[in-house]
Amino acid sequence: MQADNEQINPLQLVLLLMNAMIGVGVLVVPARAARPAGSAGWLAVILAGLFALVLVWLIARLCQEFPDKTIVEMAIDLLGNNMGVGAVILLLLLWLLSAAFILRTFGEINRDFLLPNTPIEITILGILLAGGYLARKGIEPLARLGQFSLPISILLGLGSFLLSFPGADSTNLLPLWGRGWQGVLRGAASTNFAFVGYEVLLVLLPFLNKPKRAKAAGLVAVGTVTILYTLLTIVCLAVFGACSTAKILWPTLIVARTIELPGLFLERIDVFIYTVWLVQVFLLQSIMVYVLSLLWARIMKIKEHKILVWPLVPVIYFLALFPLNIAQLASFNTIASVSLTIYVLILVLGLSLLARGKGGKARA
């Protein structure tokens, strides 16, 4: 089947972007926010979300200038062949690292909660293979699967969280400013890790069948994720208090364990949370593998991204195994995500300026 005529509609794009963001970050958001910001963690999340909104808007604006081109072609157009390819290769590497470390983080969480004795190499490999399988099929099936599963995930996930409200103490959200505005800022910087993902728009825009809706799609996606994260952080803060939220590594999952519904058959709601979260991670990996293989294919000017998927898998795999322990992993995660965001910002702003400059001549 042809892969060239693949199209996605704006709704699918929104869901894809959301899928690319909600993966592992969702589990650490409350902790990363609460550690520097205290009880104002949710403000930190909103701040990080606002920043992401701005960035995604910039990305969408840039991409809309070149509706049929991915970032690769854009960079080559504006920076010339050598510099353009170089810029994109750097992007590819940063993305690669980001994806690999997120994968490893998933492996660690999986080991903590679900499979303590299974070697992490196997679980990571499992996801990669599944992701590769799906990535080979192209963007449409990915979009469809995302469309199918994300609403269910959000419903189940959100529903489960709202159930923890009886155990929550809303006074835990005081004092309002937590540890002060510096704390909020640092919290926002730390939480940025959870928002990484919307940059895939740089590569996905050509598939959108209504390019004019890109900005709206990006804003809706990031906005929804921000709201979700904020709600999540509020719930965690209310249930645990700021100090515990900061101490626990994965507050999201632990919150699920505090929900107690004595009358119901299911004592433990966390089954649903795990299910939902696992599906999200699988989807995220598929999207990342797809994007990476597409990017690589475009750099090497190969038409079909499919053949690059299996070669890409071992690269991600070995990178994921690189960090020695979870402490190293946390810092790698932060470094990778911050570098990625900053680089994307620079790249997008730079290219936008150049596009403006060439605008007069290029439109002829």
Partner 1 sequence: MQKPQPLLKKDQQAPQLPLYQSLEQNLDRVRAILGDSNDIVIREFKLGTKGHKAALLFVDGLIDKALVCENILNAVMIQVRQVEADGEEQLSPQELLTLLSERGISMLEIKTSDDFDRIFLAALSGEAILFLDGVAKALVISARGWEYRSIQEPETQTLIRGPRVGFTETLRVNTSLLRRYLRDPNLKLKTIYIGRRSKTEVCIAYIETIANPTIVEEVNKRLATIDVDAIMESGYIEQHIQDDWISPFPQLQSTERPDHVVIALLQGKVAILVDNTPFALLAPVTLNDFFVSPEDYYERWTIGTLVRLIRYLASFMALILPALYIALVSFHPEMIPTKLVLSLAAGREGVPLSAFLEALVMLVSFELLREAGIRLPGPIGQTIGIVGGLIVGQAAVEASIVSPLMIVVIAFTGISSFAIPTYSMAIALRILTLPLMFLSALFGLYGFILGLFLIGGHLSALKSFGVPFLAPFAPLSIKDLRDTLFRHSLLGMHWRPEHLKTQDQTRMQDLRTDSELAVEEKEKSLAQARPRGGKS
Partner 2 sequence: MRRWSLGLLLLALVLGGCWDQTEVEERAYVLGVALDVPRDKGDRRKVTVAMPLVREVGAASGGGGGNKVPLISFDSIAPTIQEALVPIQNRMNRQLFFGHQKVLLFSEESARRPISPWLDFFERFSTIPRTTLIAVSRGEAGKLLSTAPPSEQLPPLYLHQLLMETANYGFGPHRTLNKLACYFESRASGILLPMVKEHKDSVEVDGSAVLKYNRLVGTMGKHETRGALWLTGEVGGGTIVTGGRGQNKLSFVIKSSRRRIKPHYRDDGITFEVRLTVEGNVEEYFGSRNVMNPRVLEQTEQEIAQVIKREITRAIGILQADLRTDALGLGMMVRKRNPKKWQKIGEWNDYFAEHVKIELAEITVFIRRTGVLR
Number of C-beta neighbours around residue 279 at 10 A: 18
The smaller minimum CB distance to partner 2, of residues 268 and 356, is found at: 268
Which of partner 2, partner 1, none binds 242 (CB below 5-8 Å, type-dependent)?
partner 2
DSSP secondary structure code for residue 300 in this structure? T
The reply on whether position 119 binds partner 2 by CB under 8 A is yes
Residue 319 structure tokens: 């990178």
Distance of alpha carbon 251 from alpha carbon 274, whole angstroms: 13
By beta-carbon proximity to partner 2, the closer residue of 167 and 350 is 167
On the 0-12 / 13-18 / 19+ scale of CB atoms within 10 A, 280 is: buried
**DSSP output for 163-231:** TTGGG--GGGG-STTTT-HHHHHHHHHHHHHHHTTGGGHHHHGGGBS-GGGHHHHHHHHHHHHHHHHHH
Question: Shortest CA distance to 56 belongs to which of 227, 218, 256?
Answer: 218
User: Minimal distance in Å, beta carbon 69 to partner 2?
Assistant: 35
212 binds, among partner 2, partner 1, none (CB under 5 to 8 A by kind): none
Query: For residue 344, how many other CB atoms are within 10 A of its CB?
Result: 22
Q: Which residue has the tokens 């399988």?
A: 133
User: Does residue 118 touch partner 1 according to CB under 8 A?
Assistant: yes
Q: Should residue 115 be labelled a site residue for partner 2 when binding is judged by CB under 8 A?
A: yes
Region from 86-94, 243-251, 276-284, 296-304 binding partner 2, contact rule CB under 8 A: 243-251
Q: Does 121 bind partner 1 (CB under 8 A)?
A: no
**Interacting residues with partner 1 between 265 and 284 (CB under 8 A):** 265-268, 270-271, 274-275, 278-279, 282-283
Where does this chain bind partner 1 (CB under 8 A)?
1, 9, 11-12, 110, 114-115, 118, 122-123, 126-127, 130, 133-134, 137-138, 140-149, 265-268, 270-271, 274-275, 278-279, 282-283, 286
Where does this chain bind partner 2 (CB under 8 A)?
39, 112-119, 122, 167, 171-172, 174-175, 239-244, 247, 253-254, 257-258, 260, 262, 268
